[in-house]
Amino acid sequence: MLKPNDKKIGDMENWRNEHGHPSFRFLQALADDGGPKALEKLRSIANDLDVSYDVNSPIEELIGLIRSATRNDPNTTT
């Protein structure tokens, strides 16, 4: 059973995942999915972070670019 503080942490992580500060776990889940919606979400995250990428970039490369961008962001939690 989740404690109130655990729920707050989970809510915060979900918000960051959806608003351009994704966790490694979230990115990995998208990579594992590999479907068109997952790729669309990764591109959306990349756009939010002003990541320059080729539309033909494989998922692994896109995730690497996103991780690189988030490592340079002081607000990231990954």
What are the b/e assignments for 31-50, b being 16+ CB within 10 Å?
Answer: beeeeeebbebbbebbeebe
Q: Is residue 31 predicted with pLDDT exceeding 70?
A: yes
* Percent of the chain at pLDDT exceeding 90: 38
Q: Is residue 2 predicted with pLDDT exceeding 60?
A: no
Which one has a higher pLDDT value, 4 or 42?
42
pLDDT for 61 equals 93
Tell me the longest C-alpha to C-alpha distance in the chain.
43
Torsion angle of the four alpha carbons 6, 11, 17, 23, in this order, in degrees rounded to the nearest 10: -10
pLDDT for 24 equals 86
pLDDT grade, residue 35 (50/70/90)?
Answer: very high
What count of other Cβ atoms lies within 10 Å of the Cβ of residue 7? 10
Q: Which two tokens stand for residue 77?
A: 């939690």
